[in-house]
Structure 1
Amino acid sequence: MTSETVLITGASSGIGHATAEAFLDAEWSVWATARDESDLRELREAGCTTAELDVTRPAQCRDVVEELLTVEGRLDCLVNNAGYGQMGAVEDVTTRRLNKQFDVNVYGPHRLIRAALPHMRERGEGTIINLSSVSGRVSTPGMGIYSASKFALEGLSDALRGELKPHGIDVALVEPGPVETAFSARAADELEPVEASGAYDRVYRFFEDFDAVSGGFASSQPEDVAAVVLEAASTTDPDPRYPVGPAARAMLLARYAPDRIRDRVVDLLYKLA
């Protein structure tokens, strides 16, 4: 019997790497991708098929999906995990950087969804899992650009879920809170420092003091998120959303508080920083 096949983006480290391992342990055929295929050596040696894939390159997105279908004959699950977080006060982040954030976090998943859907519709089955974030439901100072991209991914996924239901294709969002990965460190290494205006020092102090981007109190492990992704891919009727970790669940509850009250609480936290 042919194994179920999954395509995972951003598998070089963190959540993507752990997700590839989880699907491999569950005996799926795993296609793990990253911008630099050499970063996938460990997964390749473990049994994954690996490929270079930069989600900002439309032709490469199409080519990888076509190659997978030629080799495997089926694509059961697409995991859109590749992404990064552009932090900084909204005024301090240039529009060029905003566009780059959306290119990776929103346009990239959209490119791969469009490449995968004709095959999934023809088979009448499949699952699309988009890695969002609790920041895709609740936005806080300094996270506006990243949150905007994740809010957009959430809206795209909600519409897509209804569009694809008649075709037997499921769509699920996985929404982690803080995760102990190199997410923030990699972003800092690859992005030029934001030219701060000096008007938002408390925002940057908050990040420095509380390690607000990843890790720290109530954070999850990449393996925790990977287990949820595998669960969503394996069930016949996945939930629309899967918050991961205690911090994610707590922050999502904050959505039900009146906006003014939530703003006051956030303001107090940033003042304390």
Structure 2
Amino acid sequence: MSKTVIITGASQGIGKLTALKFKEQGYNVIAVSRSISKSQELKSKGIDLYDMDISDTNSVELAFYKIFSKYPQIDILINNAGFSQNGFIEELSIDQLRYQFEVNVFGLIKVTQMVLPSMRKARKGKIINIGSIGGDFTSPGASAYHASKYAIESFTDGLRQELKAFGIDVILIKPGGVATDFTANSRSNYPNPIKGNPYEIQRKKYNEMLDKILDPSKSSFALLTPYKVVSVIIEAINDSKPKTRYRIGSAAKMILLMKRLMSDRSFDNMLLKQLKLN
């Protein structure tokens, strides 16, 4: 009997490719996103599509009501949905900060809570949280995003410990920069300057840095392809004893080493130098 996998944020990038790859391998694939029902490509592949805004509890519950009427058992959950809210902290409104966490953290938690009863009953299942290298360090100009990814680190650790007795694996996927619309969209999620524009220089330098690292011909580290990330997700699913974390790409491994070897102030100075803000 085919296993059933649900993937959030499946309308583009890593989520979309993951949905297509799992369908190719014979899984029952449920793809969710805010307006994914419009995706003719996924629909043509026989993938079940459900509109779901994970920042809206009512939307999540309504979508799962429909999903469970057809698929009472979810074997694999891939929490992929997320976005990056850039901007310096003083420039960000509380609503902007809150929405960053509603999507990247609280939405992920709510979706996870919806699948847990059936997984616990079956005493099996796998939950894959798509984290980021951004959960290991914080750069000026993107504190909201990094904080949300730090939260996912802790949530994943706690959930892994809590669900071990029920035979449910909880796995964190931590890629470095990936060449998808996610990284390009991060450039557009930027607040208007506050009165007097005191962060004018910082904003200019930060956006110059984004343009550089998102351009494969200029970036100081190689951007990962979505295919590489999906291959690691599949590896984690197929592993009978999966790792707790899968770091993907040289940058994801290098940052961890640097954080271990450097003091906080030394690491700060390195980042500020890179952004030409020192």
Taking structure 2 as the reference length, the TM-score comes to: 0.90
Find the counterpart in structure 2 of residue 125 from structure 1.
Answer: 124
The structural deviation recorded for 1:181 is 0.8
Contiguous gaps of at least 5 residues in structure 1: none
Secondary structure, aligned partner of 1:179: coil
Q: Would the aligned equivalents of 2:7 and 2:31 in 1 still touch at CA under 8 Å?
A: yes
RMSD: 2.0
Which stretch shifts more, 147-156 or 255-264?
255-264
Matches within 5 A, 1:215-254: 216=216, 217=219, 218-254=222-258
Secondary structure, aligned partner of 2:147: helix
Distance 2:192 2:163 in 1: 40
Runs (4+) off by over 4 Å = 212-215
Secondary structure, aligned partner of 2:170: strand
Residue correspondences, number: 271
% identical aligned pairs: 35
Matched, 1:267 2:265: no
Contiguous gaps of at least 5 residues in structure 2: none
Q: Would the aligned equivalents of 2:88 and 2:143 in 1 still touch at CA under 8 Å?
A: yes
Change (3 A) 1:139 1:66: same
Which stretch shifts more, 99-108 or 247-256?
247-256
The amino acid across from 2:205 in the alignment is: R
Taking structure 1 as the reference length, the TM-score comes to: 0.92
Distance 2:122 2:184 in 1: 41
Change (3 A) 1:93 1:19: same
Distance 1:205 1:192 in 2: 14
Q: Would the aligned equivalents of 1:176 and 1:245 in 2 still touch at CA under 8 Å?
A: yes
Q: Would the aligned equivalents of 1:183 and 1:214 in 2 still touch at CA under 8 Å?
A: no
The structural deviation recorded for 1:143 is 1.5
Distance 1:127 1:241 in 2: 13
Which stretch shifts more, 7-16 or 87-96?
87-96
Secondary structure, aligned partner of 1:161: helix
Matches within 5 A, 1:1-273: 2-187=1-186, 191=189, 193-196=191-194, 197-199=197-199, 201-211=201-211, 214=214, 216=216, 217=219, 218-256=222-260, 257-271=262-276
Which stretch shifts more, 99-108 or 135-144?
135-144
